Amino acid sequence: MPSHRVVGRYELHQPIASGGMATVHLGRLRGQAGFSRIVAIKRLHTSFGETPALVATLLDEARLCSRIQHPNVVPTLDMVAEDDELLLVLDYVHGETLARLLGGADEPLPLAVVNAVMSGALHGLHAAHEATGETGEALGIVHRDVSPQNIMVGRDGLARVLDFGVAKARGRMQTTREGQVKGKLAYMSPEQ
């Protein structure tokens, strides 16, 4: 029995991260003539897969992220629908979240590392703010969940922003109700 599940051109392997709405699996893209590439595959938790609003949120995330082209944002590569399940395929970043780096450190990270990570994250967020739609209109993307859990630091030293699932943007299919709070309380801006 294989240790992975095959969905279209993708193999889903073990989970590598889990959040409130979804689990991210290590995956592999299988292409022609033996081509292969490691990817990350985000899938909604089973209990959320039949909730139209959450499915729309995942579709929105894929659509928005596909418009952000920047080295400091984890690229969205594909969206796969199979057996009433949506899978969001992302570039796999060899590295750790900033939360894991901070949690595993016996002493504070060197100032040069902190500056590089924060600078990279800010460049990624700026790219999201500046992203445009196919006809050039500003999308006005605001991440709304910037936290150490949503910043990957690759072995290459680059910081990358990920998880735009609760992002706010013009033309988004799902909108936030008045008074509804999005993101992690400890990292929210005061005006929220």
pTM of this prediction? 0.84
Res 54: pLDDT: 82
Q: What is the DSSP string of 47-83?
A: GGTT-HHHHHHHHHHHHHHTT---TTBPPEEEEEEET
Say which CATH architecture domain 5-187 belongs to.
Answer: Orthogonal Bundle (1.10)
**Positions marked catalytic:** 145
Cα–Cα distance for residue pair 65/73, rounded to 1 Å: 9
Cα–Cα distance for residue pair 109/97, rounded to 1 Å: 14
- What is the average per-residue pLDDT within 7-21? 92
Starting at the edge strand found earlier in the chain, the sheet holding 151-154 runs: 95-97, 151-154, 159-161
Ordered by start, the domain boundaries in the chain are 5-187
Summarised one tens digit per residue, pLDDT across range 101-155 is 999 878 999 999 999 999 999 999 999 999 999 999 999 999 989 999 999 999 9
Q: How far apart, in Å, are the Cα atoms of 125 and each of 31, 107, 117, 163?
A: 32, 27, 12, 12
Summarised one tens digit per residue, pLDDT across range 113-128 is 999 999 999 999 999 9
